Amino acid sequence: MKKVFQNTFADYKKEASNWITLAGGEYYPDILKDACNLYKPVLVLFGQLIKSSESSSRLFLEITNVAEPWMRVQLLRIFKRYVCPVLSVEMTKRKNKAVDFEKEFSSKFRPINEVQKAFSSRPIKDEVICALLWEYKDRGRKGYDLTERFFELFRSNYRGLQIIGPERAGRDILMKEVFESYPNPNRPIDFVIKDKEKILAIGLARYDSDRGGAQEDDRTSGYSHCANEFLGFAKRNKLNTKLIFINDGPGLLLGSMWNDYSTLEKSWKGRIIVLTLRMVTERITKEWLTSKS
């Protein structure tokens, strides 16, 4: 096979810090005024629900009945802090899951009178909890920024090729929408690169602000499973579709992350490429995207 790119992800490690992109952030305590203004209505409603609930179970069910999704999620986050630290907010976003959670974990709920006492001991514009909630506000934003910038970069440098996917928030592409016979039809991906109707590559994009230990293992093992699953499917079906992992952020400099991604890239030589944004134009070529392997 013709060699279509020279450098590997491993080759960049000695100057790794020069190849990552750092996302911006916000300063503390500068955010407190805006945080308190944003979340004061949530705290007011939480206080009203406490007063009208005869038990913590009733409080929980009343919160899950709040119609507006954003408000319901913020109330659940406050409930977690005051009433049930083991609460999985993600799990209780769906009504049926919330009812199941209440049945299974209500014995761990703090009694309502203790919740009322604790809540009334704090100011209604509680800077501490508002700052905690503010941390959730932009969760995922860095990932959205990464994807958007990659799309812009790709379109400006690879004219004639098409990139498809949610550029910021939006529903992931499911593999069944790309390949009808894919064995794991609901596997989500972030983008598809096409030349007219020919699918040249699929990919995932992630921003790692801070990752290590078990989280690091989860990410790289998940990527490895995805790669083996997809490229095994491609091999069986005689497809030359490539797999692209766009990863960026300071988390890449922690632990063994860089080495693990280097190993992943080598595992299916010529079929996988791992990149930060700064490597895109240097390493992705149309020759590689269209090459046979």
Digit-coded pLDDT (tens) for 93-103: 777 778 888 88
Residue type, 44: V
Is residue 216 pLDDT above 60, yes or no?
A: no
Digit-coded pLDDT (tens) for 270-290: 999 999 999 999 999 999 999
pLDDT given at position 215:
54
Q: What is the spatial distance between Cα 275 and Cα 265, in angstroms, rounded to a whole number?
A: 10
pLDDT band at 2 (very low <50, low <70, confident <90, very high): very low
pLDDT given at position 99:
81
Digit-coded pLDDT (tens) for 227-247: 999 999 999 999 999 999 999
Is residue 214 pLDDT above 50, yes or no?
A: no
Conformation bin of residue 72: beta by default, left when phi > 0, alpha when psi is -120 to 50: alpha
Is residue 250 pLDDT above 60, yes or no?
A: yes
Q: What is the spatial distance between Cα 127 and Cα 35, in angstroms, rounded to a whole number?
A: 8
Q: What is the spatial distance between Cα 51 and Cα 153, in angstroms, rounded to a whole number?
A: 53
Is residue 224 pLDDT above 50, yes or no?
A: yes
Residue type, 284: I
Digit-coded pLDDT (tens) for 174-187: 999 999 999 999 99
Higher pLDDT, residue 204 or 145: 204
Instruction: List Cα–Cα distances, 234 to 23, 26, 162, 183, in angstroms.
Output: 35, 43, 20, 11
Is residue 257 pLDDT above 70, yes or no?
A: yes
Is residue 217 pLDDT above 70, yes or no?
A: no
Q: Whole-structure pTM over 0.85, yes or no?
A: no
Digit-coded pLDDT (tens) for 10-24: 999 999 999 998 776
Q: Pairing state of beta strands 198-207 and 242-248?
A: parallel
pLDDT given at position 197:
92
Domain layout of the chain by residue ranges: 9-23+140-290, 32-137
pLDDT given at position 1:
41
Higher pLDDT, residue 63 or 217: 63
